[in-house]
Amino acid sequence: MTADDLPRARLRRLGPRALLDAELIALLLGPAPSDGVAAEILRQAGDLAALASWEMPDFARVAGLGPAKAAELVAALEVGRRMRERAHDPGERLDAPAKVWARVEPLAAGLAVEKCWVLCLNRRNRLLGLHEISSGTATSSLLHPREVFRQALRHAASAVIVAHNHPSGDPAPSHADRAVTRQLAEAGRVVGVELLDHVVVGRPESDPAAKGWFSFGEAGLI
């Protein structure tokens, strides 16, 4: 076998689609195991589809494969599994203001200024992307339709939720919050991206309702 026939060289020359199943496994294993280990893994599994369900005890039965390499293979399989899942399920489903608050509150905790985030969603209300779009003083107007819907159009989102924090911890909406929510809802109708909610993020201990958030959607104000 010449150097050009080695899996790594073939990968560089021809791309991953040209490699045999055993060659791909050999690349994951690296240079330490013997050449026969990859072939033995594939023989015991039967095929790649069956190998996808293997766990640590399955790899432990393969002679010549140490626990460190077995762990690397299990991790690689899990990465592939999550990639497949998330291709069909791009993110968490944000179908309640409590979920929006739980997603954004860690970003808002301890801030002395207001920040605004836009959460871009697909048709099933699953998260495609979350972006901070502005930051300023607690009295600044932060929610500009141009910035909100620019991110939505980047993701080809069907809907958005906007959220901003109140550093005081009291999520009661201000007159400015109410006005900008109406403006965002109107702008969304123009560009064809629905504003599902505007969530003001506070803290439960500072909220008279003890929730920690105010939802314009929940209050019927959108």
Fold agreement between 3-88 and 97-215: no
Q: Is the dihedral of CA 162, 167, 173, 178 positive or negative?
A: negative
Q: What is the CATH architecture of 3-88? A: Orthogonal Bundle (1.10)
pLDDT in tens, 87-125: 655 678 899 999 999 999 998 888 888 999 999 999 999
Q: Which residues contact 212 (CB under 8 A, 6 or more apart)?
A: 101, 105, 171, 201, 202, 203, 204
**Helix axes 67-88 and 21-29, enclosed angle (nearest 10):** 120
What does the domain layout of the chain look like in residue ranges? 3-88, 97-215
Per the structure block, which two tokens stand in for 116? 């605004």
Q: What is the CATH architecture of 97-215? A: 3-Layer(aba) Sandwich (3.40)
% of the chain surpassing 90 pLDDT: 55
Per-residue pLDDT of the chain (222 residues; tens, 9 = 90+): 444 458 888 888 888 888 889 888 988 888 766 668 999 999 999 988 788 878 899 999 999 898 999 999 999 988 887 776 566 556 788 999 999 999 999 988 888 889 999 999 999 999 998 999 888 754 445 678 888 999 999 899 999 999 999 999 999 999 999 999 999 999 999 999 999 999 999 999 999 999 999 999 999 998
Q: Measured between alpha carbons, how far is 6 from 170 in angstroms, rounded to an integer? A: 64
Instruction: Please spell the DSSP secondary structure of 19-65, one letter per residue.
Output: S-HHHHHHHHH-SSS-HHHHHHHHHHH-SHHHHTT--HHHHHTSTT-
CA diameter of the chain: 76
Q: Measured between alpha carbons, how far is 211 from 67 in angstroms, rounded to an integer? A: 47
pLDDT in tens, 21-43: 988 898 888 876 666 899 999 99
Contact 189, 145 (CB under 8 A): no
